[in-house]
């Protein structure tokens, strides 16, 4: 089977899936759309006196990404297309490709489908023409069930070829990876994360962060001045090295995840690191409670204190989570599930 994957260049998911499909004996190719350039311009225009031009720029972006996808399908002639977060491909483009080439097009939503830009409130309508919709958070189903399209819950995963245990000294007490002012529409997420870190810093704990934009949030959360920033790349290999150096990885998620968690949950588990993750309903189900969660700031403080001084408990939880991730939450396992869905649509 030949599978074409299209994605934003900022994500690693498509590369990991492509390699997994190849390992399973299929041909796979990845194309990256150029929406990043247009979206940066779109966001800039919405904050400027020329905001009326934002919609026109976004319309150009959608037309060009759709045309690029159709061109790639024509050249590669896949048996199926997998789109990662396909809300920037218009219905007309997806329908045209399906009708012209008679292939299924699967959309894996890895962010909340109802999060729309201010100037693009009908973006969710672009989900309507896909052959099948996969959702990475179980609670997103009410957002897409009204389309005449099958919907399957498929949580994210990790890549054990990149994220794996290393023989490294644990020289970081508490590690946080994230941004305090991430791109729209997740700006509120950074403020929430800053407040959580403020609580830990008040307790006198040493926290290091691979984070940007701390200066913008300091007037609101002055305790972040005590945060020790790590400078360096954010490549998967660099992140794996950092996870392995940490006694505790503090895993906080963007606010669009409700029942499930983003890729970092699985990547940290595969790295063999111990993580304290904010509570989401499905995490104990996915990891049989081997990932330690907290549901309040007081609970976080209690667990930070306990696990920071209890290496045996940390190691046991990390080993159990690693075992669960290897058994159930790699991209090869997700690829096998996606292939079954594709097969159900291929005539």
Which residues lie below 8 Å from residue 98, measured CB to CB, with a gap of 6+? 104, 105, 129, 131
Q: Residue 219: pLDDT band by 50, 70, 90 thresholds? A: confident
Q: Residue 8: pLDDT band by 50, 70, 90 thresholds? A: confident
- Distance, in Å, from the CA atom of 115 to the CA atom of 123, rounded to the nearest integer, reads 9
Q: String of b and e for 216-232 (b: at least 16 CB within 10 Å)?
A: ebeeebeebeebeeeee
pLDDT of 191? 85
pLDDT of 62? 85
Tell which wins on pLDDT, 50 or 68: 68
pLDDT (average), residues 193-219: 89
pLDDT of 217? 82
Asked if the domains at 2-155+331-345 and 172-328 fall in one CATH topology, the answer is yes
Q: Is the pLDDT of residue 201 over 80?
A: yes
Q: Is the pLDDT of residue 55 over 80?
A: no
Q: What is the DSSP letter of 137?
A: S
CATH 1.10.357.10 fits 172-328, yes or no: no
- Distance, in Å, from the CA atom of 286 to the CA atom of 282, rounded to the nearest integer, reads 6
- SS3 per-residue string spanning 46-108: HCCCCCCHHHHHHHHHHHHHHHHHHHHHHHHCCCEEEEECCCCCCHHHHHHHHHHHCCCEEEE
pLDDT digits (tens, 9 = 90+) for 228-268: 999 888 899 999 999 999 999 999 998 889 999 999 999 99
Q: Residue 36: pLDDT band by 50, 70, 90 thresholds? A: low
pLDDT digits (tens, 9 = 90+) for 135-190: 999 999 998 988 889 999 999 999 999 999 999 999 999 999 988 876 655 677 88
User: Which residue has tokens 């998620």?
Assistant: 253
What's this model's pTM, rounded to 2 decimal places? 0.92
pLDDT (average), residues 276-287: 96
pLDDT of 131? 96
In DSSP notation, 225-265 reads GG-EEPPS---HHHHHHHHHHEEEEEE---TT-SSS--HHH
- Distance, in Å, from the CA atom of 129 to the CA atom of 95, rounded to the nearest integer, reads 6
pLDDT (average), residues 281-301: 95
* Spans of all domains in the chain: 2-155+331-345, 172-328
Tell which wins on pLDDT, 112 or 267: 267
Class of domain 2-155+331-345: alpha beta
In contact, 105 and 130? CB cutoff 8 Å: yes
- Distance, in Å, from the CA atom of 23 to the CA atom of 20, rounded to the nearest integer, reads 5
pLDDT (average), residues 322-339: 97
Q: Residue 118: pLDDT band by 50, 70, 90 thresholds? A: low
Round the average pLDDT of the chain to a whole number and report it: 90
pLDDT of 135? 96
In contact, 113 and 144? CB cutoff 8 Å: yes
pLDDT (average), residues 327-339: 97
Q: Which two tokens stand for residue 42?
A: 């779109």
pLDDT digits (tens, 9 = 90+) for 72-89: 999 999 999 999 988 888
Beta sheet of 105-109, edge-to-edge order? 27-33, 2-8, 80-84, 105-109, 132-135, 151-153
Q: What angle do CA 326, 331, 334 make, to 5 degrees?
A: 100
Tell me whether the omega of the peptide bond preceding residue 342 falls within 30 degrees of 0, making it cis.
Answer: no
pLDDT of 123? 79
pLDDT (average), residues 101-113: 94
Nearest to 314 by CA among 246, 266, 260: 246
pLDDT of 20? 96
């Amino acid at each position: 089977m030949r599978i074409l994957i299209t994605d934003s260049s900022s994500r690693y998911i498509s590369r990991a899936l492509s390699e997994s499909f190849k390992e399973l004996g299929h041909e796979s190719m990845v194309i990256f759309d150029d929406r990043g350039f247009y979206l940066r311009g779109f966001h800039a225009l919405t904050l400027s006196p020329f905001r009326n031009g934002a919609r026109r720029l976004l319309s150009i972006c959608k037309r060009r990404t759709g045309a690029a996808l159709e061109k790639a399908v024509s050249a590669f002639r896949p048996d199926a297309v997998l789109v990662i977060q396909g809300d920037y491909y218009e219905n007309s483009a997806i329908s045209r490709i399906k009708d012209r080439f008679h292939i299924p097009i699967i959309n894996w939503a890895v962010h909340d489908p109802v999060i729309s830009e201010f100037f693009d409130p009908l973006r969710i309508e672009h989900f309507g023409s896909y052959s099948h919709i996969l959702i990475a958070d179980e609670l997103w189903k009410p957002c897409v069930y009204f389309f005449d399209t099958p919907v399957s819950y498929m949580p994210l995963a990790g890549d054990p070829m990149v994220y794996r245990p290393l023989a490294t000294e644990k020289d970081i007490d508490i590690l946080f990876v994230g941004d305090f002012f991430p791109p729209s529409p997740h700006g509120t997420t950074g403020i929430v994360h800053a407040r959580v870190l403020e609580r830990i810093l008040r307790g006198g704990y040493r926290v290091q962060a691979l984070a940007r934009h701390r200066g913008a949030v300091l007037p609101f959360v002055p305790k972040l001045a005590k945060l020790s920033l790590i400078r360096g790349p954010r490549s998967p290999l660099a992140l794996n090295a950092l996870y392995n150096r940490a006694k505790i990885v503090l895993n906080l998620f963007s606010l669009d995840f409700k029942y499930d968690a983003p890729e970092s949950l699985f990547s940290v588990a595969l790295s063999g690191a111990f993580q304290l993750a904010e509570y989401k309903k499905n995490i104990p189900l996915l990891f049989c409670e081997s990932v330690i969660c907290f549901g309040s700031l007081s609970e976080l403080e209690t667990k930070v204190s306990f696990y920071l001084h209890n290496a045996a408990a940390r190691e046991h939880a990390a080993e159990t989570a690693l075992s669960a991730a290897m058994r159930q939450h790699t991209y090869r396992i997700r690829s096998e599930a996606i292939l079954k869905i594709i097969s159900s649509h291929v005539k």
